[in-house]
């Protein structure tokens, strides 16, 4: 029963009640009962708003790429957002730093010039498929990136081009390859000599006593050389394992340098070199490992005696003035080192003169060991050399 029909019924009942009330007391009582039942007979009116008054809220206007921009803004890796034609919709700060800024709307080729990367981008734009390629950027510094592009479909259809820097990984791979090749070469030479001498002693020189003595002496030298090489390789391995653990024991450098110079005095005498010490009387303390620092200064002073032999003297100076870092410099007055070789002196197996190094029984690992030890000690090796005026190797703590 609708409310409108209820109104009509109520009107009719009112007229009927009025007639009954006028007919006598009995009928007036009946009319009162009908009035009491009226709320039950009539439907309850509900407050319902007209349909025209219900307006759904409008969805808020949002930037379809806003959240994506926010997500990539703090990425360490360079990221570009591209439309389906390869135009840049956004580049994060890392991309601007690595490749230079590009205005939104410009084609990505304005900054990415590597043919392999551009071919990958064109194929992805044409097919919608993901792709990846390794590229090298020569300027301003050589970096190796793994570039990858993927299509993102959502509120906006776009492509994500991201570059992951793998320069350090490739550098370590090259170092590992070079190290294995150099170590193999260094071991192959004495092993080949040993094999030749053994075959000679077993064959033509079986009964030649003089040949026995000569060849056995050479074989002993080759075995000693291989032992030194293996020892140096083991030292490098141990240093790499604890490279991140800085020593925290106080070491007095003054007596340490004195003991190293005393230990190398017989070698210097044999080479005709005088070791001159300039060491203060008061203690000079640094945080370090005594055995490792001894190895550093033994390497530097021994090299100065061997390769600076022509200068006849080697000067070892310890300086510790207030307000300045502690420094130990080892200077020779030999032939010096050409400038182009200086940056590579601490590389493993790198030699300025191979024949000279081998004749002086060098393994090519001494300065590499020095560099690793000083890195662990949070110290630096500074090398200055001039052809004809000797070299200076300075340890700066």
Higher pLDDT, 18 or 177: 177
**Euclidean distance between CA atoms 131 and 116, whole angstroms:** 11
Each residue of 344-353: pLDDT tens digit? Answer: 888 887 877 7
**Euclidean distance between CA atoms 117 and 219, whole angstroms:** 55
147-151, 169-173, 291-295: which has the minimum mean pLDDT?
A: 169-173
221 touches 189 (CB < 8 A): no
Residues 6+ apart with CB under 8 A from 225: 190, 361, 363
Query: Can you tell me the mean pLDDT for 298-315?
Result: 91
Residue 198 pLDDT exceeds 50: yes
pLDDT range class, residue 358, cuts 50, 70, 90: low
pTM for this prediction? 0.54
Tell how many helices (H) and how many strands (E) occur in the chain: 11, 12
Higher pLDDT, 23 or 148: 148
Each residue of 74-123: pLDDT tens digit? Answer: 889 999 999 999 999 999 999 998 888 888 899 999 989 899 999 999 99
- Per-residue buried b or exposed e for 364-392, using 16+ beta carbons within 10 Å of the residue's own CB: bbbbbbbbbbbbbbebebeeebeeeebbb
187 touches 229 (CB < 8 A): yes
How confident is the prediction for the chain on average, in pLDDT?
A: 81
DSSP per residue, 169-197: HHHHHHHHHHHHHHHHHHHHHHHHHHHHH
The predicted pLDDT at position 119 comes to: 94
The predicted pLDDT at position 137 comes to: 84
Residue 41 pLDDT exceeds 50: no
Alpha carbon separation from 13 to 2, 3, 9, 28, 130 (Å, rounded): 16, 15, 6, 13, 81
The predicted pLDDT at position 57 comes to: 55
Q: Could you count the other beta carbons within 10 Å of the beta carbon of residue 159? A: 21
Which of 149-153, 178-182, 234-238: highest mean pLDDT? 149-153
Facing residues of 316 across strands? Answer: 277, 330
């Amino acid at each position: 029963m609708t409310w409108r029909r209820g109104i009509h019924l109520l009107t009719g009942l009112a007229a009927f009640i009025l007639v009954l009330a006028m007919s006598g007391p009995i009928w007036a009582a009946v009319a009162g009962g009908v009035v009491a039942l009226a709320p039950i007979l009539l439907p309850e009116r509900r407050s319902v708003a007209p349909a025209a008054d219900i307006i759904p809220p409008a969805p808020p206007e949002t930037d379809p790429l806003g959240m994506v921009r926010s997500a990539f803004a703090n990425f360490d890796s360079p990221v570009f957002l591209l439309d389906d034609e390869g135009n840049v919709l956004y580049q994060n700060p890392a991309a601007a730093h690595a490749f230079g800024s590009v205005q939104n709307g410009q084609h990505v080729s304005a900054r990415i010039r590597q043919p392999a990367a551009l071919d990958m981008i064109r194929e992805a734009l044409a097919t919608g498929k993901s792709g990846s390629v390794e590229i090298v950027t020569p300027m301003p510094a050589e970096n190796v990136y793994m570039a990858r592009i993927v299509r993102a479909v959502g509120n906006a259809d776009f492509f994500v081009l991201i570059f992951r820097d793998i320069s350090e990984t490739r550098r370590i791979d090259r170092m590992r390859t070079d190290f294995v090749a150099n170590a193999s070469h260094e071991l192959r030479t004495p092993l080949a000599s040993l094999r030749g001498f053994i075959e000679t002693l077993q064959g033509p020189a079986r009964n030649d006593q003089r040949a026995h003595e000569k060849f056995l002496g050479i074989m002993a030298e080759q075995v000693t050389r291989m032992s030194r090489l293996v020892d140096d390789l083991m030292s490098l391995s141990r240093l790499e394992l604890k490279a991140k653990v800085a020593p925290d024991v106080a070491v007095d450098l003054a007596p340490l340098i004195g003991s190293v110079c005393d230990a190398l005095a017989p070698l210097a005498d044999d080479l005709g070199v005088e070791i001159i010490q300039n060491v203060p009387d008061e203690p000079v303390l640094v945080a370090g490992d005594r055995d490792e620092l001894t190895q550093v200064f033994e390497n530097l002073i021994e090299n100065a005696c061997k390769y600076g032999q022509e200068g006849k003297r080697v000067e070892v100076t310890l300086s510790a003035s207030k307000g300045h870092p502690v420094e130990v410099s080892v200077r020779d007055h030999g032939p010096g080192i050409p400038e182009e070789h200086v940056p590579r002196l601490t590389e493993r197996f790198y030699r300025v003169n191979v024949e000279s190094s081998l004749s002086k029984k060098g393994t090519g690992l001494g300065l590499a060991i020095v560099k690793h030890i000083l890195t662990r000690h949070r110290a630096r090796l500074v090398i200055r050399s001039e052809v004809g005026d000797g070299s200076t190797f300075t340890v700066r703590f």
